Chain A
Amino acid sequence: MTINPYLPLEAEVIERIQETPTIVTLRLRLTDPDARHRFYCSPGQFNMLYLYGVGEVPISIKSGPQSFLDQTLLLDHTIRAVGRVTRALVELQPGARLGVRGPYGRGWPLKEAQGKDVHVITGGLGCAPAVSMVHELVKQRGRFGRISVVQGVKHADDLIWREQYEHWAKQPDTQVLLAADQPDATWRWHQGMVTGLLDQLTLNPDRSIAMLCGPEPMMRASAERLIELGLEPEQIWLSMERNMQCAIGHCGHCQFGGAFVCKDGPVFNYPQVRELLGVRGF
């Protein structure tokens, strides 16, 4: 965390990976070596990325150093070009400079997940904030029970990191389920919505934890289905998204009822957001 909470650190684009026509991963390195060694994050947190003269946007950290022992020191951010800033950000080429502020927010409850079966259910680019968490689960495999990774996309083309899912599927006690609403000829998984896959989960409600990230209707439907399948609302966690400009709970844009998504979230326990999730206008 920088001392002035608003001041970005300079970073350099080390690599640009075109994931789909509209999704790009930028691999960044902070240019100040001291800052680089001080920066570590936990899965589910986000950074504010600042494009010179254009503005700042919150982007989840797809992967980054998680402790001072970590030697990667690179920050991957996967960005979909949808708005004024992100459309320009995805055009950055290796060598370009930008600003980074963070990490912010409360990440995934990995402590609570220890010793439990972990079900990671994502939709669309909601997989990005979850990837670093799944990596962590796989890295510390012995600490967790069964792992299931469920990802749904609209078009088959939207599935990024296909090799990653195939790799995870080969891990012991790990279930990978994929769904596409509009599959193509090569699609060999489920056709339909991600919620249609939940019945296929090997679910032991008394030792499970679910982590959800994706469009809100998908998260809400999934959470409610999991409750029907026997999970308590407290066993479900989800990552929310709202307009964020300051990232420290001051600017007011990310308020969701009484919660500031930027600092009280983005990962919430389901009972904290259940009242308003799906209510239009919140």
Chain B
Amino acid sequence: MEIPGYLPREQLQALLERLQQQGYRCVGPRVREGAMVYDDINHADQLAVGYTQTQEPGHYRLKAGSTVRQFAWANGPQALKPLTFAPREELWCAQEQPDGSLKFHPAATDYEPVAVIGVRACDLAALRLQEQHFLDSCADPQFAVRRRSLFLIAVNCTHPAQTCFCASTGDGPEVDQDCDLSLYETDEGFFVSAVSPAGQQLALTLPLEHGDAELFKQACAEVTRAGEAQVRRVPAKNLRDSLFAQLDHPRWKEVAERCLSCGNCTQVCPTCFCHSETSVPSVDGHQTTHQRQWDSCFSPGHSYIHGITLRKETEQRYRQWLTHKFGSWHDQYGRSGCVGCGRCISWCPVGIDPTEELDVICTDVTGRPE
């Protein structure tokens, strides 16, 4: 086994400087309002350090000062999604000319390149799913430019949350590909594996030390254990057919009594792609911008059609979400739309857990598995 080079923790600043020299705006984990979020980092000192976390259904707490490490937590509410698929952005604008004619202009796409430090395997898997959605059939110009402008530095997960189940979806905790650099964290620093050609070039400029084989073995074992430690899983069966065979299951009504239809799950989900478009006129009325912003299948407008809302009931909205994410996503993109990050469980105000719902719904009412 080839042992990756080792970057002592105090040299993390060198990595940041190389990225900045190459014109990247750097973002990495910082603590904001009690949660780990990706935010601008100008100096390595600004990266959060010493935090662990507890995540449970409807519960997310950070704990400071409990480790020397910087990535001893699973994830925060954001994934990479806002960096490629902006929560709200202009698509184009229309101008009304004095003669009544209209001129249309596409939105500018001169986004600055962004380097992200601390990407998780689940979020890379989610990015791949979003690429399938936004690029494969009719490329979204804004998503395409934003994606091309990303430099991704992944950190293998060693501290899964109780809500994590990436091992069961096959998306983590180990980072395999689709990033530029892949890091293994130890108490004193990081093993740095170059994954992409751009990552290789950057790695050459880093003050990497010779990596200790035994220490690397331990670092890899920590990641393996992180997978084994996960307690949740998605049912290992043909979920698409099981779900669509159970559209009348009494559990839909039962879960709808708990669900607030708030859409938190869809906002923190790294693969949810729904968005609505609106026309926003300027105050003088001579220009209007056509914007899109994240929508949710839990919003009443999502299923609106010529005066009718097709999904009036929470029961129908929850069923739409779950049958799409775990069922019809297979029809669309050849796999489930869930990467096991567990965010929808932690950030659900009432702690609804889709893995539990799937277990119940995909077992028929007599208690027999489908």
Contacts of A282 in B (CB 8 A): 310, 320
A276–B315 CA distance with the chains assembled, in angstroms: 16
Are the CB atoms of A52 and B276 closer together than 8 Å?
A: no
CB distance from A154 to the nearest CB of B (A): 15
A7–B303 CA distance with the chains assembled, in angstroms: 24
Q: Does A6 contact B (CB under 8 A)?
A: yes
CB distance from B276 to the nearest CB of A (A): 6
Interface-forming stretch among A163-171, A194-202, A204-212, A249-257? A249-257
Interface-forming stretch among A39-47, A64-72, A91-99? A91-99
Partner of A53, one of B104, B285, B292, B303: B285
Q: Does A55 contact B (CB under 8 A)?
A: yes
Are the CB atoms of B101 and A10 closer together than 8 Å?
A: yes
> How many A residues face the partner with a CB closer than 8 A?
46
Q: Does A142 contact B (CB under 8 A)?
A: no
Are the CB atoms of A95 and B100 closer together than 8 Å?
A: yes
CB distance from A127 to the nearest CB of B (A): 16
Are the CB atoms of A275 and B244 closer together than 8 Å?
A: yes
Q: Does A230 contact B (CB under 8 A)?
A: no
Contacts of A276 in B (CB 8 A): 244
Interface string of A241-282 (1 = CB under 8 A from B): 111011011111101011110010000000000011001111
**A1-50 with Cβ < 8 A to chain B:** 4-10, 31, 50
Are the CB atoms of B138 and A252 closer together than 8 Å?
A: no
Interface-forming stretch among B28-36, B74-82, B88-96, B216-224? B88-96
> How many B residues face the partner with a CB closer than 8 A?
56
**B313-362 with Cβ < 8 A to chain A:** 313, 315-317, 319-320, 323-324, 327-332
Are the CB atoms of B104 and A252 closer together than 8 Å?
A: no
Are the CB atoms of A52 and B306 closer together than 8 Å?
A: no
Partner of A258, one of B92, B277, B331: B331
Partner of B303, one of A52, A99, A253: A253
**B109-129 with Cβ < 8 A to chain A:** none
Contacts of A242 in B (CB 8 A): 303, 305, 310
**B133-192 with Cβ < 8 A to chain A:** 133-134, 137-141
Contacts of B104 in A (CB 8 A): 7-10, 99
Main SS of chain A's interface residues? loop
Q: Which residue of B lies closest to A247 (CB)?
A: B138
Q: Does B279 contact A (CB under 8 A)?
A: yes
What's the count of A-B pairs with C-beta under 8 Å? 134
Are the CB atoms of A55 and B101 closer together than 8 Å?
A: no
Contacts of B281 in A (CB 8 A): 53
Are the CB atoms of A56 and B102 closer together than 8 Å?
A: no
Known contacts A54-B279, A251-B275, A257-B331, A96 near B311 by CB under 8 Å = no
Q: Does B290 contact A (CB under 8 A)?
A: yes
Partner of B96, one of A8, A52, A250, A259: A52
Are the CB atoms of A249 and B138 closer together than 8 Å?
A: yes
CB distance from B318 to the nearest CB of A (A): 10
Are the CB atoms of A55 and B276 closer together than 8 Å?
A: no
Contacts of B331 in A (CB 8 A): 257-259
Are the CB atoms of A258 and B330 closer together than 8 Å?
A: yes
Contacts of A185 in B (CB 8 A): none
Q: Which residue of B lies closest to A258 (CB)?
A: B331
Are the CB atoms of B102 and A10 closer together than 8 Å?
A: yes
Q: Does A172 contact B (CB under 8 A)?
A: no
Q: List 27 A-B contacts (CB under 8 A).
A: A4-B141, A6-B92, A6-B141, A10-B101, A10-B104, A52-B94, A53-B279, A53-B285, A53-B288, A55-B277, A82-B307, A95-B100, A99-B94, A99-B104, A245-B277, A246-B277, A250-B273, A251-B276, A251-B295, A252-B274, A253-B276, A257-B331, A258-B330, A263-B137, A276-B244, A281-B313, A281-B317
What is B's interface to A at a CB cutoff of 8 Å? Answer: 91-92, 94, 96, 100-104, 106, 133-134, 137-141, 244, 247, 273-279, 281, 285, 288, 290, 292, 295, 297, 301-307, 310-311, 313, 315-317, 319-320, 323-324, 327-332
- Per CB-CB distance, the 3 closest pairs between chain A and chain B, nearest first, are A258-B331, A281-B316, A252-B274
What is A's interface to B at a CB cutoff of 8 Å? Answer: 4-10, 31, 50, 52-56, 80, 82-83, 86, 95-99, 241-243, 245-246, 248-253, 255, 257-260, 263, 275-276, 279-282
